[in-house]
A and B are shown apart, each in its own frame.
Chain A
Amino acid sequence: MGIWGMFVKRNLMKKLIGMTIFQVAIILLFISSAVKFGGTIPTFDPSIGATDPTLYVNPLPHVLMLTAIVVMVATSGVALAILLIIYRRYHTLDEQEIIKRMRE
């Protein structure tokens, strides 16, 4: 759906939304890989002990995705800043319209 948004929509803002949906989907995919049924949060719990790893949820994907979320926020930040510049210059976010005005 995110990719569809990016290629089909003509409004740059909507393209950006598509991009974010795509990124969030990937993050969810990673997180879902960490789930273990019957697992608990990955901090040491004396009542369970550290011998059986299946009792803990795998923490690594969460850590990775924390980094990926930071990257995503930064990407959206830069993209929004640039959209702002475009809007101030051309007063529209429609791609065709901007291309038309660039040629003038």
Chain B
Amino acid sequence: MTINQLPVIIPVSLLLFTFITFLLGVWRKNLAFPSALTGVTISLLASIFGLITVLQSGPIHYYLGGWAPPLGIEYVLDDLSAFMAVIILSIAFLSMIYSRQSFLKEVPDKIVPLYSLLLLLIAGLSGIVVTGDLFNVYVFLEIASLSAYAVTGIGNDKAPVAVIRYIIIGTIGACFYLLGVGFIYFATGSLNMADVAHLLPGLSESRLIVVAAVFIVIGMALKMALFPFHIWLPDVYTYAPSGVITFVAPLMTKVGAYVVIRMLISVFMPDYLAGTLPIMTVVSWLAAVGIIAGSIMAIAQKDMRRMLAYSSVAQICYVALGIGLANPIGLIGAMLHILNHAVMKGCLFQVAGGIRYSTGLWHIPRFAGLGRRMPWTMGAFAVAAISMVGIPPAAGFFSKWYLVLGSVDAGNWIFVAIILISSLLNAIYFFRILEKVYASPQVDDPAINTAVDPPRSMLAPMMTLAISIIVLGIINAVIVTNILQPIVKAIS
């Protein structure tokens, strides 16, 4: 194995284990989980190794089948993609450990296909990140989306209805992206990202390219559930099995954001998009409205999953706001927030799943007294909630800080105000739960009285995420200077 093959090992080992898991699972049901975990672990190690190598010696290129670009398909592992790959795979790894008990309890008879599909989902997500080919992104996007439709469709009676809406909107998004890629191909005759970026400056007046950029951004806005395209998201997150949601919620929408960042940095140049087109301004204003709307909707919810789903809508809008600002500090904020939000939301949905596992409850008003019954779970929840609100030692503060700096840099004081107001709104809906959980007197509720912390295999990933929230907050300066600043340096 040579270093050059690292980019391709990440998705391919996952694809391979998709089949191995299914075959082993059909033979012996118990083998599905260890096999799936092995696949994720191999990719995780490859991606961590990749990140270290990339930081030391620059991007790694791999040409599939030995065809050099622009003719062949190229896989690239550079700072940004290695960074994203590590996020995706570490969250996937922790969720995989977590999901075992939760699946055994909620959907015991569907474990084998579920694990294969989850591996396929992760393979698709990591494939999007490592590929350097525009059409390949579409293929991996559809691999990830199709398996996401399938895994979220396994759920209670209402899940299929939510998912059919997700399929329709997701497919429109993918089709718009495909149209955009088609127009780029018509204009440049190339599908390789680096090659297109090389050819585009000569064509900057072409209307075809303008249309292509608009289509790609619209397509990705649909995929990442940017306000007002978020209508599919709350239902899907609410009705899917809680083990599945710990995969889908932190990762699926982030990858849409990644594609937009990738397009911005490596294909279209930000000056071009921001200068000739109002599309980025539109994105940032939609995001600003979405932040407020999502937070207000979250306050109105009584179901914990639904509240977290609306909060996701608001949080992805932070990322979109950072992208829409299209200046280096804003982009750093967006990328840092992708990382932080993946960790925070992973933690919160795991806590929600844990509460469900022990008590069978989703309904927030009935949570009174849980703080004493489930100290570890609610401790993790408290840490994640503090980070979501953005109180300094936790990670959430720093990404918001960069977003505020980016807005100031763009001279847009309205965005600064919006970020501050939304932090207050976040505080309202998270502290409401904390107050219920810790301060409310315990009522005599059989579900609460018998509640205990979930088993260790669920608790360990939850605590790991909670601790990493604090750690990420403390070491955020290291991440920013070593990983994120080189990424944006190319454009500034």
Q: Which of B186-221 contact A (CB under 8 A)?
A: 186, 191
- Chain A interface helix/strand/loop/mixed: helix
Contact across chains for A15 and B168 when beta carbons are under 8 A apart: yes
For the complex of A and B, list the 4 residue pairs with the smallest distance between their C-beta atoms, beginning with the closest: A71-B142, A85-B160, A86-B160, A82-B160
Q: How far is the CB of B144 from chain A (nearest CB, A)?
A: 12
A23 contacts B by Cβ under 8 Å: yes
Q: How far is the CB of A48 from chain B (nearest CB, A)?
A: 21
Q: Which of A1-42 contact B (CB under 8 A)?
A: 3, 6, 12, 15-16, 19, 22-23, 26, 29-30, 33
Query: Which residue of the partner chain A has the closest CB to B181?
Result: A64
CA distance A19 to B139 in the complex (A): 18
B308 contacts A by Cβ under 8 Å: no
**Contact residue range for chain A?**
20 to 34
Contact across chains for B178 and A86 when beta carbons are under 8 A apart: no
Chain A residues with CB under 8 A of B149: 78-79, 82
Q: Could you say which of B138, B139, B153, B172 contacts A82, with CB atoms under 8 Å apart?
A: B153
Q: How far is the CB of B225 from chain A (nearest CB, A)?
A: 17
Contact across chains for A33 and B157 when beta carbons are under 8 A apart: no
Query: Which residue of the partner chain A has the closest CB to B141?
Result: A71
Contact across chains for A22 and B150 when beta carbons are under 8 A apart: no
B185 contacts A by Cβ under 8 Å: yes
Q: Could you say which of A3, A29, A98 contacts B182, with CB atoms under 8 Å apart?
A: A29
Given contacts A71-B146, A82-B160, 7 further A-B contacts (CB under 8 A): A3-B172, A29-B182, A67-B135, A67-B139, A71-B138, A71-B142, A82-B153
CA distance A99 to B444 in the complex (A): 35
Q: How far is the CB of A98 from chain B (nearest CB, A)?
A: 6
Chain B residues with CB under 8 A of A3: 172
CA distance A60 to B160 in the complex (A): 37
Query: Which residue of the partner chain B has the closest CB to A20?
Result: B171
B26 contacts A by Cβ under 8 Å: no
A75 contacts B by Cβ under 8 Å: yes
CA distance A98 to B161 in the complex (A): 8
A55 contacts B by Cβ under 8 Å: no
B163 contacts A by Cβ under 8 Å: yes
Chain A residues with CB under 8 A of B138: 68, 71
- Given A26-B179, A82-B167: A19 and B172 interface contact (C-beta under 8 Å): yes
- Given A71-B139, A82-B149: A23 and B175 interface contact (C-beta under 8 Å): yes
Contact across chains for B161 and A75 when beta carbons are under 8 A apart: no
Contact across chains for A19 and B171 when beta carbons are under 8 A apart: yes
Contact across chains for B182 and A26 when beta carbons are under 8 A apart: yes
Contact across chains for A89 and B178 when beta carbons are under 8 A apart: no
B158 contacts A by Cβ under 8 Å: yes
Contact across chains for B167 and A75 when beta carbons are under 8 A apart: yes
Q: How far is the CB of B167 from chain A (nearest CB, A)?
A: 5
Chain B residues with CB under 8 A of A6: 168, 172
B164 contacts A by Cβ under 8 Å: yes
Q: How far is the CB of B295 from chain A (nearest CB, A)?
A: 26
Digit string of B62-99 for contact with A (CB within 8 Å is 1, else 0)?
A: 00000000000000000000000000000000000000
Contact across chains for A22 and B175 when beta carbons are under 8 A apart: yes
Q: Which of A77-98 contact B (CB under 8 A)?
A: 78-79, 82-83, 85-86, 89-90, 98
Central interface residue in B146, B158, B161, by most chain A CB within 10 Å: B161
Chain A residues with CB under 8 A of B167: 75, 78-79, 82
CA distance A12 to B167 in the complex (A): 11
Q: List 17 A-B contacts (CB under 8 A).
A: A3-B172, A6-B168, A12-B164, A19-B168, A22-B171, A23-B175, A68-B138, A71-B138, A71-B139, A71-B174, A74-B146, A79-B149, A82-B153, A82-B164, A82-B167, A83-B164, A89-B157
Chain B residues with CB under 8 A of A23: 171, 175
Contact across chains for B172 and A78 when beta carbons are under 8 A apart: no
Q: Which of B91-150 contact A (CB under 8 A)?
A: 135, 138-139, 142, 146, 149-150
Q: How far is the CB of A28 from chain B (nearest CB, A)?
A: 11
CA distance A78 to B171 in the complex (A): 12
